[in-house]
């Protein structure tokens, strides 16, 4: 560790490769944001070594685009982050907004990562599956 800052690394969820065909490895802030995007968009069982991880949002993609589902998605994300997301993050702001035109959910999350000592921000738009 350098200066008590843990180096966090992760493979790109888009399976990007460099010019030599090697999988791109992200580090620091980009790796945490990548891990969070993957966690939010994953189905339960997609994590090979931890089949109980993830899938907190995908269940709700089958439910109606309404206020109840909006609240449920927000609660599921917050509960899931607390229960099984690593590396640890502290959520500053989370918005879940239905997009009726595109039949999707827009999810924006601002947080702080004590692991990399930086703020992280992600935005994902997930299609409604009905």
CA distances from 122 to 39, 50, 80, 105, 112 (A): 12, 23, 16, 14, 12
pLDDT surpassing 80 at residue 115:
yes
d(CA 113, CA 90): 6
Give the containing element (helix H, strand E) for 36.
helix 29-41
In the chain, domain spans: 9-127
Q: How confident is the model at residue 49 (pLDDT cuts 50, 70, 90)?
A: low
Pick the CATH number of 9-127 from 1.20.120.160, 3.40.50.1980, 3.40.50.620, 3.10.450.40: 3.10.450.40
d(CA 62, CA 42): 14
d(CA 23, CA 26): 10
Lowest mean per-residue pLDDT among 43-47, 66-70, 106-110, 118-122: 43-47
Q: Give me the half-sphere count of Cα atoms (radius 13 Å) on the Cβ side of residue 89.
A: 32
Looking at residue 50, what is its pLDDT?
66
pLDDT surpassing 90 at residue 112:
yes
pTM listed for this prediction: 0.81
């Amino acid at each position: 560790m350098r200066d008590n800052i843990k180096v966090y690394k992760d493979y790109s969820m888009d399976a990007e490769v460099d010019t030599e065909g090697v999988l791109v490895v992200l580090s620091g802030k980009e790796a945490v944001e990548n891990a969070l995007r993957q966690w939010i968009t994953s189905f339960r069982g997609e994590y090979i070594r931890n089949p109980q991880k993830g899938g907190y949002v995908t269940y709700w993609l089958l439910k109606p685009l309404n206020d109840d589902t909006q609240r449920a998605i927000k609660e599921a994300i917050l509960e899931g982050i607390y229960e099984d997301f690593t590396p640890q993050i502290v959520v500053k702001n989370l918005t879940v907004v239905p997009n009726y035109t595109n039949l999707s959910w827009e999810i924006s999350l601002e947080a702080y990562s004590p692991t990399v000592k930086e703020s992280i921000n992600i935005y994902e738009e997930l299609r409604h599956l009905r």
